Amino acid sequence: MSELEIRPERYDSSAAQGLVVAALAELATRYGGAGDETPVAPTEFAPPSGEFLVAYLDGVPAGCAGWRSHGDSGEIAELKRLFVASTARGRGIARSLLAAVEGSAREYGRLRLILECGDRQPEAIALYQRSGYERIADFGFYRDEPDVLSFGRSL
């Protein structure tokens, strides 16, 4: 049986960056370009304004996800970089990471989690819908792109 551990990491740590690079490469394959050109600074994922989590499967980095504050109210968090390595998929890691991000955002007083996703990510869309996320008005870097889908959920 495999052991899953999810723990906070600095966004610019080697484990986190290895997974982020893999996530962006996969998005580039699906959408072209750099994969996701949304401006992201490592400091955005430092508590209390955000947090970045890495999932380890049997001690090996297998997935990541983070949240950063959105807007000025202090109530909304934005999910970023939810990704599971292809070798670790099908084991519930994405759902575990999503739950951990929701819990972390809630701990820091966030009441809602929002996210942007592209229409060429059916696995992610299905996860969000199964997890209670509903379509919301497009809000972020890609809000004017025809293939963007935005979701949100109260925590």
Q: Are strands 60-70 and 112-118 parallel, antiparallel or unpaired?
A: unpaired
50 pLDDT higher than 80? yes
State the pTM of this model.
Answer: 0.95
The predicted structure's pLDDT at residue 48: 97
pLDDT digits (tens, 9 = 90+) for 63-115: 999 999 999 999 999 999 999 999 999 999 999 999 999 999 999 999 999 99
Give exposure, 86-119, as e/b (b: 16+ Cβ within 10 Å).
eebeeeebbebbbebbbebbeebebebbbbbbbe
* Mean of pLDDT values over 20-42: 92
Q: For the chain, give every domain's residue range.
A: 4-110
The predicted structure's pLDDT at residue 34: 80
What DSSP line would sit under 14-79, residue for residue?
Answer: HHHHHHHHHHHHHHHHHH-TTS------GGGGSTTSEEEEEEEETTEEEEEEEEEEESSSS-EEEE
What DSSP line would sit under 95-111, residue for residue?
Answer: HHHHHHHHHHHHHTT--
* Mean of pLDDT values over 135-148: 92
Q: Which CATH architecture has domain 4-110?
A: 3-Layer(aba) Sandwich (3.40)
> Confidence band (pLDDT; 50, 70, 90) for 2?
confident
* Mean of pLDDT values over 118-146: 95
The predicted structure's pLDDT at residue 33: 87
